[in-house]
Amino acid sequence: MPQINKNARIDLRALILLLSALIAVFVLGASIFASYWVQRKMLVDGTLETNRVYATKLATMTEGYLGSALRQLAFSADFYGRHFGERGALTQENEWLRRQVDYFNSTFLVDATGVVRAVAPANLTTLGTVLRTQGATQALRERQPAVSAPYMSAAGNLVVVLSHPIFSPTNGYLGYVGGSIYLQRRSGLSQLLGEHYYKDGSYLYVVDRQLTLLYHPDPARVGTVVRNNPLLDEAVVSGGDGVRRVTNSYGVDMLAGYATVPSTGWVVVAQRPYHQTLAPLDKLILTMVAIALPLTVLGGGLIWWLTLVIVRPLRSLAAGARSMGASEGSHDVGDVRAWYVEAFELKRALMVGIKLLDERIGKLQRDVQTDPLTKLSNRRLLGQTLALWQAERRSFAAIQLDIDHFKKVNDTYGHEVGDQVLTALADVIRSCARAGDVLCRTGGEEFLVLLPDTDLALAAVVAERLRQRVADAHFPLVGQVTVSLGVAEWTPQHEEDASLALGRADKQLYLAKQRGRNCVSQEGATR
């Protein structure tokens, strides 16, 4: 009979607990580490794409701005061509052009010899002089609609000039009409771009093909040339849009997206600091740890109990082996290495448990933002959406709706049928919504629809379509139900707090109920 080495005994229960603890720590740490890197990549990629889309939007707006300005110049050029010999008419039209549109800081009329025939505002000193500036030379030479490169005007302003040729009714070239946009002073272009300045370190700027700054939040930098910027080099060459992580002139690590204005080749860049992008991630990781630790402790208790279950029969087997006298029996017991198998199964079970924990954390995050009955968004996501749109200064319309006489439905058919009506109504609301709309259940029978980038008039049309679709729908057991709706809008130019629009929409809802229900009430077009 083989001798047992008493000094080599291993406590199987302690070994399983030790291995389980090591596995739990490793898997939990790896899970948090992997989550951090995945979330970081998602945040960085999402910010880059958001900035690219944002820059594309502003490039499109700038293209439209320049196109509208050139069309206005074309209209005036047609008038000048028919009245070029009438000095009073030329002066009057030029003054009208500057005052009636908000495109230009100054406007002027130049004849075919380069002499300024009319100028506004009238205090400019170039009237009657020959313009020899870069923009004037280009306009006289090309004789076609053009947007100049930035240059210093005769009046000492850094400008971009838009020009349109003037032809007589017999197609003779008479000169051109032009409008200047001041780059270092307030202008229509700076207002267009300045509305989109963020407060979290993000900003945008615009350069021309020669990398001269046409717009920047710091006016002192306008007119300077940006050098050693690989993003701008890439943008000028590609002529399209894209994303890149760059270091700006102040040494700040930025996540940038860019787009090109097609007609001029100007590059619009929107960028956000890298550290600001990752700031929410630390809070998210701490939240994950706070959720995972209690579950890990609970799992440890379960493992401790399982070790008792696993070790008890093995100890009995070992005791039986020690009492066996036959050599074959001792040999059979000594060959059993079942504890390796159990340890392996425990490891696998623990890894599966950690995986399920990650999935449950993800599900928990979704459930926190979702109404369990209708699967619409709840107040938590509503608050996050309002905060985001307020930070982006993104206008929206709000539609507050309430089921008419819903208490009667519950009293007559029971709450189970009432829940079916709420679920069916949620489906009707989804059928009337766009992809970017936010649909919320804010109370028992109260719902809210947020329409981004939508004015009051369009929101009222959507609300009426929703009211009619609900009225035409057939609800289980109940048949027909109606809803009352209140419509309001929020624009960042009128107020800072986006949540105030919800209160006004709720007030309109109650006005709709006072007017007999099954109708839409909207706030006034002006406040």
Is the distance from CB of 222 to CB of 183 less than 8 angstroms? Answer: yes
Reply yes or no on domain 379-522 having CATH 3.30.70.270. Answer: yes
Structure tokens at 227: 């050098």
Largest separation between any pair of C-alpha atoms in the chain: 130
Cα angle, residue 66 at apex, residues 94 and 144 outer, rounded to 5°: 70
pLDDT at 361: 62
pLDDT at 454: 93
Would you list the domain boundaries of the chain? 7-45+278-366, 379-522
Q: Which residues contact 22 (CB under 8 A, 6 or more apart)?
A: none
Identify the helix (H) or strand (E) that includes residue 522: strand 520-522
Return d(Cα 153, Cα 134) in angstroms, integer: 8
Task: Tell me the pTM.
Answer: 0.49
Is the distance from CB of 206 to CB of 269 less than 8 angstroms? Answer: yes
Q: Which of 19, 3, 23 is nearest to 11 (CA)?
A: 19
- Please report, as a single letter, which amino acid is at residue 257: G
Identify the helix (H) or strand (E) that includes residue 110: strand 106-111
Please report the sign of the dihedral spanned by the C-alpha atoms of residue 364, residue 365, residue 371, residue 373. negative
pLDDT by residue for the chain (527 residues), tens digit each? Answer: 444 444 545 666 666 667 777 776 777 677 777 777 788 888 888 888 988 998 888 888 888 888 888 888 888 888 888 888 787 888 888 878 877 767 788 888 889 888 888 888 876 667 778 888 888 888 888 899 988 888 887 667 788 888 999 999 899 999 999 888 888 777 777 777 766 555 677 888 888 888 888 888 888 888 888 888 888 888 888 888 888 888 887 788 888 889 998 888 889 998 888 888 877 777 777 777 777 777 777 877 777 777 766 665 555 555 544 544 444 444 443 443 444 454 344 334 334 444 554 567 666 666 678 888 999 988 888 989 999 999 999 999 999 999 999 999 999 999 999 999 999 999 999 999 998 999 999 888 999 999 999 999 999 999 999 999 999 999 988 999 999 999 999 999 888 899 999 999 999 999 999 999 999 999 874 33
Return d(Cα 354, Cα 299) in angstroms, integer: 10
Alpha helices in 123-257 (DSSP H): 134-142, 188-194, 230-238
- Total residues belonging to the chain: 527
Region for residue 405 given its phi and psi (left: phi exceeds 0; alpha: psi -120 to 50; beta: otherwise) = left
pLDDT at 365: 65
Q: Which of 261, 344, 222 is nearest to 65 (CA)?
A: 261
Q: Give backbone dihedrals phi and psi of 483, rounded to 5 degrees, phi first.
A: -130, 150
Q: Give backbone dihedrals phi and psi of 397, rounded to 5 degrees, phi first.
A: -115, 150
* CA distances in angstroms from 461 to 185, 427, 487, listed in the order given: 41, 19, 10
Please report the sign of the dihedral spanned by the C-alpha atoms of residue 83, residue 84, residue 90, residue 94. positive
Is the distance from CB of 502 to CB of 408 less than 8 angstroms? Answer: no
Helix (H, G, I), strand (E, B) or coil at 377: strand
Q: Which residues contact 177 (CB under 8 A, 6 or more apart)?
A: 73, 76, 77, 80, 94, 97, 107, 108, 109, 110, 163, 164, 166
Is the distance from CB of 492 to CB of 412 less than 8 angstroms? Answer: no
Beta bridge partners of residue 377, listed in sequence order: 370, 440
- Please report, as a single letter, which amino acid is at residue 482: T
Identify the helix (H) or strand (E) that includes residue 88: helix 87-100
Q: Give backbone dihedrals phi and psi of 441, rounded to 5 degrees, phi first.
A: -105, 115
pLDDT at 222: 84
pLDDT at 312: 59
* CA distances in angstroms from 382 to 121, 428, 442, 498, listed in the order given: 49, 20, 9, 11
pLDDT at 363: 66
